[in-house]
Structure 1
Amino acid sequence: MKYCENILETIGHTPLVKLHRVSATLPCPVFAKVEFFNPGNSIKDRMAVKMVEVAEQKGLLKPGGTIIEGTSGNTGMGLALAAVIKGYKCIFTTTDKQSKEKVDILKAVGAEVIVCPTNVEPEDPRSYYSVSRRLSQEIPNSFYVNQYDNLANRDAHYEQTGPEIWEQTDGKITHLIVATGTGGTITGTGKFLKEKNPDIQVWAIDSYGSLLKKYFETGEIDMSEVYPYITEGIGEDFVPQNYDMDVIDRFVKVTDKDGAVMARRITKEEGIFVGYSAGSAMAGLIQLKEHLKPTDVVVVIFHDHGSRYVGKVYNDQWMMERGFLDVKTVKDVVSSRRNQPLVSISPDDKVSEVIAKMRKFDIEHLPVLQGAEMIGSVSENGLFNRLIDDANLKDATVKQVMQAPFPIVNENTPIEKLSMYINKENGAVLTKDESGDYHIITKYDIIQALGR
């Protein structure tokens, strides 16, 4: 029988996958180290278990103890898996910018999660760093992991990730690309690879709002570089001890938008459902493409799985609200018509009056309003069918011939999604703007918008 004694034995030996479409503009082959094949769906499983094991060896973590850590989610998942198998409790602090999915997953594996504000200094007592440190001092028999300064973090990648990449590329790797946060992955992996071949380039991808790139270039901690950003899991507002900047050859910053858009591209074009940082890593690599040549072999780390970001990066509404998704919406259609007032009818109008109104305004669909309430609809096609059967209906009232009300959609709905509502039976939708006014969208409006 071939089996693992427990889930921790499945960590590591993740696949190296060649990229094709998202790397098409690059002159050399690019391979993704797909780390969501780890049981906790991220590369953090490697160092989480390593830090626990080292703490046990040093007597810092004793039977029945409590593991405490500040985490963006993925490290917590790795620690929680180790805790389940080894019999520890877990308390994690995280920031309010992390996806709800990450928090829910941590709770699912038995951890207690405390959400702290993002936009405070690391030394602020409310920060997730400070809260985790305080809890470790207050709770008996607890161990504060501190992934940022715990050198077992980078040791895990020196012992595991680096050797795997070297073996999988048959020693042909020339560039390692890592979207970096705590510094453990890039330092540990890069150190091993450079010991094998000092010419290997190690490139770090940072986020705007992080001070790491400036520190790498000047050796100065410049807090003016720090401001809120959306990208999860990369960048820092301080310099963790896991960093050895001598291992890194180049830093480049990537915008929140570019990282999110690229993550969606990787998923859609390569079939690899990746997280936010993978998008940032790939976007950063493309920004540096002029430094590559055809003989190079590039490995980029894909840190975690896209399921952690379905409420954010993979949510059209979330993307549009931040200006990350360049799609036309219902609001764009309404704006293009210069907010023309809605033409409507009442339930007591005569059908003959409706026909006259359709001719006057050259429209096919009319909503039926009773006061401010939408109670029905009338369409040219529906009227035609009814009048063919009974010509006397022209003297009837609207309430005798009206159909169901048009569906009402949010004004931020992409127009591509209106096909869900506009069909043979229903020829239009309504939307309400910020002022509370209704607007109608028809098939013709959609054709016009898509043709611009």
Structure 2
Amino acid sequence: MKFCNSILETIGNTPLVKLHRVTAGLPCPVFAKVEFFNPGNSIKDRMAVKMVEVAEQQGLLKPGGTIIEGTSGNTGMGLALAAVIKGYKCIFTTTDKQSKEKVDILKAVGAEVIVCPTNVEPEDPRSYYSVSKRLATEVPNSFYVNQYDNLANRDAHYEQTGPEIWEQTDGKITHLVVATGTGGTITGTGKFLKEKNPDIKVWAIDSYGSLLKKYFETGEQDMSEVYPYITEGIGEDFVPQNYDMSVIDAFTKVTDKDGAVMARRITKEEGIFVGYSAGSAIAGLLQLKASLKPTDVVVVIFHDSGSRYVGKVYNDQWMMERGFLDVKTVKDVVNGRRNQPLVTIQQEEKVSDVITKMKKYDIEHIPVLHNQEVVGSISENGLFIKLIDDVNLKDAQVKQVMQAKFPEVKMDTPIEKLSSYINKENGAVLTRDESGNAHIVTKYDIIQALGS
């Protein structure tokens, strides 16, 4: 039989996948090292287990002990898997900018999770760095992992990730691209590859709001570079000891929006369900594309799975609230009419009055009111069918022939989603603006908006 003694034996040997659509404008092939094939769905499994094993060897982590760490989620998952197999407890601190999915997953594997504020200095006693350090002094028989300064982090990638990429590319790799945070992946992997071929270029992708790029260029930890940002898992407001900047050849910064939009593109166009940092990595690569030649071979690290970001990057509402999703909404359609008043009719009026209004305003759909409340609707097609059956209905009251009310949607609803409301039986939706005024959007409105 062929089997693994534990889930930890499945870590590593992740696939290298050629990209096609999102890198179509580049002169050379680009391959993704897809790290969510690790059991914890991220590259952090590699260094998490390595740090635990080194701590055991050094006597820092003893049987029945508690693993304590500050994590953006993925390292915690790797540590939690190791703890499950090896019989340890886990206490993790994280920040309130991390996705809810990450926190829930950590709790699912038995970890205690403490959420700390993001917008504080690392030295602030409320920061997730400080809280984890404090807990390590208070909890008996505990081990503070400190992935930022624990050099077993980068050793794991020197021993595993680098050799895998070298073998998978048959030594042909010319560029390594990594969206970087703790520095372990880029330093360990880059160091191994450069020992094999000093001409290999190592490109780091940073986030606006992080000081890493400025430090790489000047050697100065400039705190004026630091401000809140949304991208998860990359960038830092200090320089972890895992960094060896001599291994890195270039740094570029990517905006929160560009990283999020590209992550969605990778998923839709390549069929690889990636996390936020993968989008940042490809966006950064495209920013540096002028340095590439047809003979180059690029490998980009895809750190984790999109499953960690379902409530954020892959949530249309979240994306729109931050201005990341350039989609037309019901509000755009309504605003495009230049405040044209909504044509309505009272339920006590005659059907002949509806016909007159439809002709006068050249419209097909009219909401029916009782006083000021919408109680139904009239459509040209529905009215036509009823009049064919009984021409005398033109003298009847509207309430005798009206149809159901139009479905009501919010103003920020993407027009692409209206297909689930507008169909053969129902030709429009109702919406209300900030002042409570009613508007309708029809099939014709959608066609006009999508075509403009």
CA distance in 1, matches of 2:36, 2:138: 34
Q: CA deviation at 1:144?
A: 1.2
Equivalent position of 1:62 in the other structure: 62
- Equivalences for 1:40-439 in 2 at 5 Å? 40-439=40-439
Q: CA deviation at 1:371?
A: 4.6
Q: CA deviation at 1:447?
A: 1.4
Equivalent position of 2:2 in the other structure: 2
Q: CA deviation at 1:372?
A: 4.9
Which stretch shifts more, 359-368 or 18-27?
Answer: 359-368
Q: Any idea what SS the aligned residue of 1:59 has?
A: coil
Q: Which runs of 5+ in 2 are unaligned?
A: none
Which amino acid letter does the alignment assign opposite residue 359 of structure 2?
Answer: R
Q: CA deviation at 1:250?
A: 0.5
Which amino acid letter does the alignment assign opposite residue 24 of structure 1?
Answer: A
Q: Which runs of 5+ in 1 are unaligned?
A: none
CA distance in 1, matches of 2:21, 2:31: 12
Which amino acid letter does the alignment assign opposite residue 201 of structure 2?
Answer: Q
Q: Any idea what SS the aligned residue of 2:123 has?
A: coil
Are residues 127 and 2 of structure 1, via their aligned partners in 2, closer, same or farther at CA, if it must alter by over 3 Å?
same
Q: CA deviation at 1:374?
A: 2.9
Q: CA deviation at 1:420?
A: 1.3
Which amino acid letter does the alignment assign opposite residue 385 of structure 2?
Answer: N
CA distance in 1, matches of 2:255, 2:158: 29
Once the two structures are superposed, what CA deviation does each residue of 1:23-45 show, in whole Å capped at 9, x if it has no partner?
11111111110000000000000
Which stretch shifts more, 274-283 or 61-70?
Answer: 61-70
Q: Any idea what SS the aligned residue of 1:408 has?
A: coil
Q: Any idea what SS the aligned residue of 1:204 has?
A: strand
Q: CA deviation at 1:59?
A: 1.4
CA distance in 2, matches of 1:51, 1:336: 58
Which amino acid letter does the alignment assign opposite residue 119 of structure 1?
Answer: N
Which amino acid letter does the alignment assign opposite residue 170 of structure 1?
Answer: D
Which amino acid letter does the alignment assign opposite residue 163 of structure 2?
Answer: P
CA distance in 2, matches of 1:310, 1:40: 16
- What's the RMSD between the two structures over aligned residues? 1.2
Segments of 4+ moved more than 4 angstroms: none
Q: CA deviation at 1:393?
A: 1.8
CA distance in 2, matches of 1:236, 1:369: 58
Q: Any idea what SS the aligned residue of 1:182 has?
A: coil
Identity among equivalent positions (%) equals 88
Provide the TM-score with structure 1 as the length reference.
0.98
Q: Any idea what SS the aligned residue of 2:153 has?
A: helix
Q: CA deviation at 1:394?
A: 2.0
Once the two structures are superposed, what CA deviation does each residue of 1:396-434 show, in whole Å capped at 9, x if it has no partner?
222222111111112222212211111110000111222
Are residues 376 and 247 of structure 1, via their aligned partners in 2, closer, same or farther at CA, if it must alter by over 3 Å?
same
Alignment length (residue pairs):
452
Are residues 287 and 362 of structure 1, via their aligned partners in 2, closer, same or farther at CA, if it must alter by over 3 Å?
same
Provide the TM-score with structure 2 as the length reference.
0.98
CA distance in 2, matches of 1:449, 1:203: 41
Which amino acid letter does the alignment assign opposite residue 127 of structure 2?
Answer: S
